[in-house]
Amino acid sequence: MTVAKVHSKWVNGNLVYYQDGQEQRWLDVVGPAVVKVVEEFQFGNYYFTTTSPKTVQGWLNTFVEAGAGDHVEALVNGADGGVLLITTAGNDNDGVNKQCIGEAFNLSLTNKWPAYFGIRFKVSDATESDWVAGLCITDVTLTSAGTTYGVYFRSADASAVVSAVIEENTTETTGTVHTMSNNTYYIYEFLFDGTSIDFYVDGVAITQLATTNIPDTEYLTPSFEYLNGAAGVDTVNIDWIRAFQIQE
């Protein structure tokens, strides 16, 4: 008998579908006031090589391409599940900042609206790269200048260590979550239950950071930035990005 791969539950009266064995992994949500971003990278015109900034499929893409080659993004034809391939230009700090247009995620501790963010991706250079993935304030330089508000995962160049970060007005609470390897897919997720934020890597709960610095005064949006940490063309493959918030 096939085991159900999807289950559902009620969260604040809204219907949340989640993956079997991964209750934190929201797949879809139905309710009267659900904020929803689901990017499976299966279909759509994600292709671009043109001048920064470029808007595709609801994402604002700001890229740096000082080095050899152009910054290129395209769906991968013939990838099970659908995959977005990002190829950076060749200088140190070339790369891309991607943010969903429109800030709609609100981590107010008064409203206590549950929210989820998840991403499955891999990078070609786990050490010499900078990246941020999560919910952040609108900011086209998330890694280099430093985002000021957000809940996200982060890795800085010269290290493959990944940290979980909760940040409000540049004051951070952080915790190390794991060490990345090259060309290996990982699933990074966090769940805000209205009070606390739990961080997961590959389906395993890693840490619950103190909520002192929850960015509850600014709206956030699904965000991803990747920059080379050294001269060389890097690649990033993103299988999916999903983010939801139940705002009622």
Partner 1 sequence: MTTIHSHWINGNLVYYQSNYMQRWLDAVGPAVIKVKQEFQFGNYAVAAGDATGITREGWLLTFVEVGAGGQLMSLVAGADGGNLLITNAGNEDDGINMQVIGSSFNLSLTNAWPAYFGARFQISEATESDFVLGLCNTDTTLTAATEDGIYFRKADGSTAVSAVIEKTHVETTVAAWTAAANTWVIAEILFDGVNVDFYVNGTALTRQVATNIPNTVYLTPSFEFLNGSAANHTATFDWIRAFQLQS
Residues within the interface to partner 1 (CB under 8 A): 2-6, 8, 17, 19-20, 25, 27-28, 40-47, 57, 75-82
Nearer to partner 1, 80 or 145 (CB): 80
Q: How far is the CB of 132 from partner 1 (least distance, A)?
A: 25
Measured CA to CA, the distance from residue 191 to residue 9 in angstroms comes to 15
Nearer to partner 1, 18 or 131 (CB): 18
Q: Which backbone phi and psi does 180 adopt, to 5 degrees?
A: -85, 155
Q: How far is the CB of 182 from partner 1 (least distance, A)?
A: 24
Residue type at 83 in one-letter notation? V
212 secondary structure, DSSP code: G
Nearer to partner 1, 42 or 173 (CB): 42
Nearer to partner 1, 25 or 122 (CB): 25
Burial class, 225, CB count within 10 angstroms (exposed 0-12 / middle 13-18 / buried 19+):
buried
Residue type at 155 in one-letter notation? S
Nearer to partner 1, 25 or 154 (CB): 25
Measured CA to CA, the distance from residue 153 to residue 129 in angstroms comes to 13
Q: How far is the CB of 197 from partner 1 (least distance, A)?
A: 23
Q: Which backbone phi and psi does 205 adopt, to 5 degrees?
A: -65, 125
Task: Give the chain's length.
Answer: 248
Q: How far is the CB of 33 from partner 1 (least distance, A)?
A: 20
Nearer to partner 1, 55 or 195 (CB): 55
Q: How far is the CB of 204 from partner 1 (least distance, A)?
A: 16
Q: Report the candidate in 179, 53, 23, 230 with the shortest Cα–Cα distance to residue 114.
A: 23
Query: Is-cis flag, bond preceding 32, omega within 30?
Result: no
Q: How far is the CB of 67 from partner 1 (least distance, A)?
A: 28
